[in-house]
Every structure is written in C-alpha cells, then in structure tokens.
C-alpha cells in the first residue's frame, strides 16, 4: 500500500478560515509528523493560495483540498452556482499544486427535498460532475466525492450511491472519498464498501464514531484495515476528529459533549494508532 497520512484543517481550527489560523494548522500538522494537510476551502474563496503554498513548502508538507457545498450551491436546485463554485475551488487547488479536491460535492449540507433522490436529479448531478471533471482534468486534479449520513443529505449516503453516479459520467478523474463517521451510520460494515470501490477509493477521513480517539468508539477498524490491504489501497488517510478544546469547535460541528482529549492528544494518538496497524 502507498499511503499518505494527513490531518484535516479541522483537527486544529474551526471551519472558519483565516490566514493566521491556517498557518497555525499547517505548522501543527507538520510538527506532529503528518505527510499532508487537508485544507477545507472557504466557500467565499477568500484564500491566499500563493502564501499558503509558500508556508507548505517551508514546512515540507503535502496538501489535499476539500470543499463542502453550501445550501446555495445544492446541485439539483442550483447547478450553475454549484459548478461555478467547484471550478473556483479547483483553481485554488491547482494554485497550491495539489492534485486532489474532495468533500461533499454532491449537494448542499443540510438541504432536503423531502424525498429520495430522483432520476432527474441524478442527471443534473452527473452533468455538473462531468463538466467539473473536465475542468479538473486540465489542471491534473482528481475530484473525490464524499457520501455523508442521512441526517445531513439525501443525495449520496453510501459508497454505492457515489459509484452509481460516477459511472454515469464516464470520466476517469472522479473518485470516492469515504469517511468512517458516516460509514458507521450508513454502511452495513467497513469491509464490503471498500472492496467494491477498489481503485476508485482515493481518500478517507479517519474518525471514530464519536469523533474522538480511534479505538475508543464503535468503528470496526479491523474490517477497514483488512479491506484496505485487500485492495492495496493507494491514497490518503486523513484524520478528521474534533476536540472541544478548540475554541468554537463545539458550535461549528455540533460537538456538544466535552472531549476527553485535546487537539494535540487526538492528533498524536490517532497517527500512532494508524501507523501501528498499517505500517
């Protein structure tokens, strides 16, 4: 397996990007021993890519980017707005010399129609994805689609949902971005979705069922790691666990219970957990 271990920006700061906070997260990620940082791009795209690129180089740190579509860019309702935002995010990704943009790129988080995804909505989504993929391909970028749980979206909840729609597009640079928190809610197990996805799987958010320390919740890590070995996984394993010790994090991600670990403990312990089981 060719794995890069990463930490999400959210391991250190809230989703509200500022230049100062971003620099802090980059330095913390590098100092803790990760290979890369996943930068969640702000929807405003108020993001100084040249400066961040320099900071990454100074800290010898790789980078992947992500974007979560907001309500006003819910693809089935606002396809033009969604495509425009995705293209802006791809421009920022390219400006960092990054080759991966993941995240919730199938619909706005928290938007519901009141029904299951329709065939017409699927057509709209695949059309937007196809256009975005062509735009990304010209910049050498792979787009990873992250399914999330039923309480946050009705569009893509499982790996199978994403695979169905990516197959409809017929493009080669759309990939799957899984998250163990959402898998723990929506998938029957942690083995079969990974096996079925195979080389389509390029990026995984690693987090416990309670967003805390891996091994202290209900995620079946043995199943996940066995599946990753079985497909000879090549991609990124990125921590996206949260600590209430980070000011504003409770409100940002509904982390209402006090975390037993601070952000640094979570990062160090989680990275050690992964390396002990995969290296």
Of 125, 95, 96, which is closest to residue 108 (Cα–Cα)? 125
pLDDT tens across 12-50, in order?
999 989 999 999 999 999 999 999 999 999 999 999 999
CA dist 169 and 137 (Å) reads 14
Of 267, 256, 212, 206, which is closest to residue 236 (Cα–Cα)? 206
pLDDT tens across 137-193, in order?
999 999 999 999 999 999 999 999 999 999 999 999 999 999 999 999 999 999 999
pLDDT beyond 90 at 220: yes
SS3 176: strand
DSSP class of residue 203?
A: E
CA dihedral 203, 207, 208, 212 (to 10 degrees): 170
Dihedral sign from CA coordinates of 97, 103, 109, 112: positive
DSSP H or E stretch at residue 90: helix 79-95
**CATH architecture, domain defined by 2-278:** Alpha-Beta Barrel (3.20)
Whole-model pTM: value is: 0.97
Average pLDDT of 208-222? 97
């Amino acid at each position: 397996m060719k794995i890069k271990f990463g930490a999400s920006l959210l391991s250190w700061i809230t989703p509200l990007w500022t230049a100062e906070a971003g620099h802090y997260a980059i330095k913390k990620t590098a100092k803790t021993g990760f290979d890369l940082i996943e930068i969640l791009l702000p929807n405003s795209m108020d993001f100084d890519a040249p400066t961040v690129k320099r900071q990454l180089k100074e800290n010898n740190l790789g980078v992947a980017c992500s974007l979560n579509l907001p309500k006003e860019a819910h693809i089935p309702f606002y396809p033009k707005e969604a495509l425009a935002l995705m293209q802006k995010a791809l421009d920022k990704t390219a400006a960092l010399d990054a080759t991966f943009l993941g995240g919730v790129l199938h619909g706005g988080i928290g938007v519901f129609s009141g029904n299951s995804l329709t065939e017409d909505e699927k057509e709209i989504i695949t059309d937007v994805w196809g256009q975005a993929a062509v735009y990304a391909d010209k910049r050498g970028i792979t787009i990873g689609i992250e399914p999330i749980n039923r309480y946050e979206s009705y569009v893509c909840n499982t790996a199978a949902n994403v695979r169905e729609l990516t197959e409809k597009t017929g493009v080669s640079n759309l990939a799957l971005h899984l998250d163990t928190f959402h898998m723990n809610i929506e998938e029957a197990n942690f083995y079969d979705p990974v096996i079925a996805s195979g080389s389509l799987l390029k990026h995984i958010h690693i987090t416990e069922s309670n967003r805390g320390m891996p091994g202290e919740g209900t995620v079946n890590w043995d199943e996940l790691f066995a599946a990753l070995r079985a497909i000879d996984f090549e991609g990124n394993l990125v921590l996206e666990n949260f600590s209430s010790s980070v000011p504003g994090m409770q409100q940002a991600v509904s982390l209402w219970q006090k975390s037993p670990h601070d952000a640094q403990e979570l990062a160090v312990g989680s990275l050690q957990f992964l390396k002990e089981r995969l290296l």
